[in-house]
């Protein structure tokens, strides 16, 4: 992975969102509804905080997507990591 600079904004942080793990514990339609609603709730919170879908990370056949932000505080709230393993540490500020 590489560090992606976005103007003066700095490092891009990312999180891998995998669709196939939504269905690991599904035994009924109610389980499916619960899993989908929980995922939608998390994605809505991330969107409200400014997290976006990385256009280059997915295709029509993939079951995974990279969600990104350049805001270190948002990244910390959602346990996102810098694109490149490095010395950058996110501070333990409250979300």
- Cα 9-11-17 angle, rounded to 5 deg: 115
pLDDT of the residue at 3: 39
pLDDT of the residue at 7: 39
Residues facing 17 on adjacent strands: 65
Query: What is the phi/psi pair of residue 70, to 5°?
Result: -110, 5
pLDDT of the residue at 67: 94
Q: Is residue 24 part of a domain?
A: yes
Q: Is residue 23 part of a domain?
A: yes
Q: Is residue 92 part of a domain?
A: no
CA-atom Rg of the chain in angstroms? 15
Number of folded domains that form the chain: 1
Q: Is residue 7 part of a domain?
A: no
25-79 pLDDT, tens digit each = 889 999 999 999 999 999 999 999 999 998 777 666 667 889 999 999 999 999 9
Q: Is residue 2 part of a domain?
A: no
61 lies in which domain range? 13-82
Q: Is residue 26 part of a domain?
A: yes
Q: Give 76's contacts (C-beta < 8 A, 6+ positions apart).
A: 90, 91, 92, 93, 95
């Amino acid at each position: 992975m590489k560090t992606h600079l976005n103007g003066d904004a700095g490092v891009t942080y990312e999180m891998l969102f995998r669709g196939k793990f939504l269905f690991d514990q599904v035994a009924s339609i109610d389980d499916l509804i619960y899993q989908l609603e929980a995922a939608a709730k998390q994605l809505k919170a991330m969107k409200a905080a400014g997290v976006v879908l990385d256009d280059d990370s997915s295709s029509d056949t993939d079951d995974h997507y990279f969600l990104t932000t350049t805001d270190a505080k948002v990244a910390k709230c959602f346990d996102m990591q810098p694109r490149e393993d490095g010395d950058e540490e996110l501070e333990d500020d409250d979300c």
